């Protein structure tokens, strides 16, 4: 049929118009209907409801199928419930440096705190001298949790324990160490060994310097006492020097010395940087009331070594063994000085003969 313009206009006015949105919605509904025809959306009859007891049974069976029980699961979780105790050493990560200390993550429920004074056994200017954010290291737990659940930590305690272990080992090895004098007092000098404060008694300082002038000097030292329980670390400068000197000395050797001090029981003779004792009984064959009657401070004399005690750091000397005639030290000390080497050779020969006489039959000396 052919429409005239007037008929087309009349049909357009009599037919309801559909907007583009309405047409789009209608197309979507048609598409959904077609998809529903292709899919089976019916609820299966075997699916249990929430009230069906079989659904709970199936849930338990699923857990059992995992491979462990609920008790085992709880036990596994308990392994991560850390029980930190004072005295424990734990690994931790530094995550914040503050003015009064550092915040450390050790896996506890609250970040642990390490005070500035616990950062090192040595004196430091600031935390950054020892720690850096993100650094992982060992920490010592000092106390129980406070009211905020926070633990207090220390590095100094770990270093302190290990320092005592180290000095005990050094003492066992009879090692000679070098340490700087950082202060002096009326009794002696103070040094640091492995970070620990050590004391050198005045009687064990062997130097011509005034004691106060030793500050900043590095001295060779030997251990006299290592006692962690009493916090006592005592060292000897004299013994270290004597040991060094003893390595180059031998009994029967004649050495040149200088009188450095006179006591009622004898005189201290400087023999190349170390002191030896010339006991009053070893000055002469003749009886002497006091060493002052024979010796003067700064006198130069020859003495013979009669004993080397490395353990006690003592060198024993004699002029009596060098006397050509008994009493020469009182009447003619210059003669003793001049004939010292000759008399020492005789003395060594005498000792050798005595040793041979004391040897069992059939045994000879090399």
| HSE value, Cβ hemisphere, 13 Å, CA-based, for 35 | 6
C-alpha to C-alpha distance for 324 and 343, rounded to whole angstroms? 7
Contact (CB, 8 A) for 177 and 193: yes
Both ends of the chain: CA-CA distance in Å? 150
Give the pLDDT of residue 39: 44
Sheet holding 112-115, edge to edge: 112-115, 101-105, 89-97, 136-141, 153-154
Helix (H) or strand (E) holding 70: helix 70-78
pLDDT of residue 78: 54
Domain boundaries defined on the chain: 89-154, 167-241, 249-353
pLDDT at position 32 is: 45
pLDDT on residue 114: 92
CATH classification (class only), 167-241: mainly beta
Please check whether the two domains, 167-241 and 249-353, share a CATH topology: yes
DSSP string, 269-312: EESSSSEEEEEGGGT-SS--S-GGGT--TT-EEEEEEEEEETTT
Rounded to whole angstroms, how far apart are CA atoms 256 and 305? 11
How many other CB atoms are found less than 10 A from the CB of residue 351? 14
Residue 99 sits at φ, ψ, to 5 deg, of -65, -30
89-154 falls under which CATH superfamily? Answer: Nucleic acid-binding proteins (2.40.50.140)
User: What is the dotted CATH code of the domain comprising 249-353?
Assistant: 2.40.50.140
Question: Which pTM value belongs to this model?
Answer: 0.57
Q: In whole angstroms, what is the distance from residue 151 CA to residue 90 CA?
A: 12
Alpha-carbon 22 to chain mean position: 85
- Give the burial class of 328: count Cβ atoms within 10 A of its Cβ; 0-12 exposed, 13-18 middle, 19 or more buried: buried
DSSP letters, 215-254, are TT-EEEEEEEEEETTTTEEEEEHHHHHHHHHHTT--TT-E
Q: Which residues contact 281 (CB under 8 A, 6 or more apart)?
A: 320
Number of helices (H) and strands (E) in the chain: give both, helices first: 9, 15
Task: Chunk the chain into consecutive blocks of 10 residues (it has 366) and report each block's average pLDDT, rounded to whole numbers.
Answer: 42 42 49 46 48 46 52 56 80 90 88 91 85 92 85 93 95 93 94 95 87 91 94 93 83 92 93 88 93 93 90 87 93 93 87 73 47
Element (H, E) at 36: helix 20-38
């Amino acid at each position: 049929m052919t429409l005239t313009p007037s008929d087309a206009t009349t049909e357009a006015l009599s037919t309801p118009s559909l907007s583009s949105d309405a047409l789009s919605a209608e197309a979507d509904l048609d598409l959904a209907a077609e998809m529903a025809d292709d899919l089976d959306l019916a609820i299966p009859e075997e699916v249990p409801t929430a009230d069906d007891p079989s659904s709970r049974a199936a849930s338990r069976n699923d857990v059992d199928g995992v491979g462990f029980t609920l008790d085992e699961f709880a036990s596994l979780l308990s392994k991560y419930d850390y029980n930190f105790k004072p005295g424990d050493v734990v690994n931790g990560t530094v995550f914040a440096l503050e003015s009064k200390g550092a915040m450390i993550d050790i896996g506890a429920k609250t970040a642990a705190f390490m005070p500035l004074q616990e950062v090192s056994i040595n004196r430091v200017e600031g935390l950054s001298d020892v720690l850096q954010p993100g650094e992982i290291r060992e920490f010592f737990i000092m106390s129980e949790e406070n009211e905020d659940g926070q633990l207090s930590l220390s590095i100094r305690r770990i270093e302190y324990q290990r320092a005592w272990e180290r000095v005990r080992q050094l003492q066992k090895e009879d090692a000679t160490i070098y340490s700087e004098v950082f202060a002096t007092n009326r009794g002696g000098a103070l040094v640091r060994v492995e970070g620990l404060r050590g004391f050198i008694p005045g009687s064990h300082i062997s130097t011509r310097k005034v004691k106060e002038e030793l500050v900043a000097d590095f001295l060779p030292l030997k251990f006299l006492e290592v006692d962690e329980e009493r916090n006592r670390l005592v060292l000897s400068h004299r013994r270290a020097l004597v040991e060094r000197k003893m390595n180059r000395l031998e009994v029967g050797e004649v050495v040149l010395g200088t009188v450095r001090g006179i006591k009622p029981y004898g005189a201290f003779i400087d023999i190349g940087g170390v002191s030896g004792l010339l006991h009053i009984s070893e000055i002469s064959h003749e009886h002497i009331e006091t060493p002052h009657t024979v010796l003067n401070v700064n006198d130069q004399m020859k003495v013979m070594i009669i004993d080397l005690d490395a353990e006690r750091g003592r060198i024993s000397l004699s002029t009596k063994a060098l006397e050509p005639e008994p009493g020469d030290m009182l009447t003619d000390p210059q003669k003793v000085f001049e004939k010292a080497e000759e008399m020492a050779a005789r003395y060594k020969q005498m000792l050798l003969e005595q040793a041979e006489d004391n040897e069992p039959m059939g045994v000879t000396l090399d």
